[in-house]
Amino acid sequence: MPDLDLTASSVDLTRVICDIPSVSGEETPLADAIEAAVRALPHLEVLREGDTIIARTDLGRAQRVVIAGHIDTVPIHDNLPTRDIDVDGEAYLWGRGTVDMKAGVAVQLRLAAELVAPRVDITWMWYDHEEVDADLNGLTRLSRTRPELFAGDFAILGEPSNGEVEGGCNGNLRALVRTTGVRAHSARAWVGENAIHRAAPILARLAEYRPRDVEVEGLVYREGLNAVRISGGVAGNVIPDACEVEVNYRFAPSRTAEEATQHVHDVFAGFEVEVVDLAPGARPGLDAPLAQEFVAAVGAEPRPKYGWTDVARFSAMGVPAVNYGPGDPHLAHHDQERVPLAQIVSVERGLRAWLSAP
């Protein structure tokens, strides 16, 4: 098992934990290393559930903050081990996980070791299976088995945000829109009914769809409705009798899950629609006093988070949450994933200043 030196800089720690492969489902070696490192810290109470590690202070502070980050990555694609690169005169660390989101985890681990007496009690969470189905997510499991661990006045998720504060997140819905037909030999197509041809109006509605920009608590969220997959066909000489168009709807946190579902049904009225995945969004939560103090302390201009993140889990449990981490979200999952070293340092500095303030 690799050793993690939590006295090392967060930049060096990022290199080390990125070079421990932890594709979703293969997080155990990194989880073992994190557990061993934080169990050596006497000021933290440490718990483990599967490959999720929880470390907590218990100082009797009046307020508690939950700070979380996932330790898994999408599959590696010739982008490990990490290496230092220069892009237009700026120093970067290149490699899988540098952006999403091991740089953020490294900052958290560094501060978990350093902050023996923070201004608030802190619950640190490093969890597995974020990049796959929600039912496998470490926070999903933890919310079922130990919901009390989510208790807090404010939460910070270390998702990449370019070192800025991104409030809340859009909701995410996937649905299958289906057409049916009648099979026939393609040489006698008039005998059958082509289900793929019948999908043309679905694609036309998507092409004509104009997504909304929605202001929620001062932040403008951009929605989107897109086809992401289409399937149909039996063989090269058979008229298909079934076709499915998978659509993805990213909706502003002002919509409930039920409203988002109804909207998709309305757009595709006349077709069979089956919702196969649905995750509500999260309102920004920036009106919470601790959130306002945090934003002021790190000197950030809050922005909306367009993608879905686990801040929604905290929001659903009544805990206002924001995204704050190093790395450009556009480079998450990218083959050229890379994080500016200066952003790692800046995020560490911002969190330290706020958590250490009297």
Q: Residue 87's Cα: distance from chain center in Å?
A: 26
Distance CA 243, CA 75 (A): 30
Q: Say whether the peptide bond before residue 125 is cis (omega within 30 degrees of 0).
A: no
Q: Is 130 part of the annotated catalytic residue set?
A: yes
Give the SS3 label for residue 57. Answer: coil
Angle ∠(100,101,103) on CA atoms, nearest 5: 125
Considering the candidates 27, 35, 51, 72, report the single residue annotated as catalytic: 72
Q: Say whether the peptide bond before residue 81 is cis (omega within 30 degrees of 0).
A: yes
94: CB partners within 8 A, 6+ apart: 79, 82, 83, 84, 85, 336, 337, 338
Distance CA 111, CA 298 (A): 15
Structure tokens belonging to residue 200: 């043309």
Distance CA 55, CA 39 (A): 8
Considering the candidates 130, 159, 164, 223, report the single residue annotated as catalytic: 130
Q: Is 72 part of the annotated catalytic residue set?
A: yes
Structure tokens belonging to residue 47: 């718990």
Structure tokens belonging to residue 167: 């409030």
Distance CA 107, CA 294 (A): 16
Catalytic residue ranges: 72, 130
